[in-house]
Amino acid sequence: QVHLVESGGGSVQAGRSLRISCAASGYSYTSMCLGWFRQAPGKEREGVAFIYTGGDSTYYADSVKGRFTISQDIAKNTVFLEMNRLKPEDTAMYYCAADLRSYCGFAIQTTDFSYWGQGTQVTVSS
């Protein structure tokens, strides 16, 4: 069982930055794919960025590539999403999710992620 707790969301103006965190517990931290997803009202949940905790491989959606950075602090079992140059269309509930496969990224379907956090709201105003 993997327990995920997100934090750090909030409201910012367009062009500003925000960092959200996801603390993982309950499983060997260095053997999972951790991902950030987001869901805006009326839209499907979409993958934003992923990191394989055992090897540091990272994956990004085209819509955030070059603006968002996913990273981890292994000592704290925590994954971060640094979001720069935020846009109003980045407004969404952001969720952290975990999968225990030995690979990571967009090859894993959203519905295949077994463990989810409660979400943290990010609102970007123009």
Question: For the segment 11-66, what is each residue's pLDDT rounded down to a tens digit?
Answer: 999 999 999 999 999 888 778 899 999 999 999 999 999 999 988 799 999 999 99
Long-range contacts, 21-25 (Cβ 8 Å, 24+):
21/78, 21/79, 21/80, 21/81, 22/78, 22/79, 22/80, 22/81, 22/96, 22/117, 23/76, 23/77, 23/78, 24/77, 24/78, 24/79, 24/96, 24/98, 25/77
Six token digits for residue 94: 């952001």
Rounded Cα gap, residues 80 and 3, in angstroms: 16
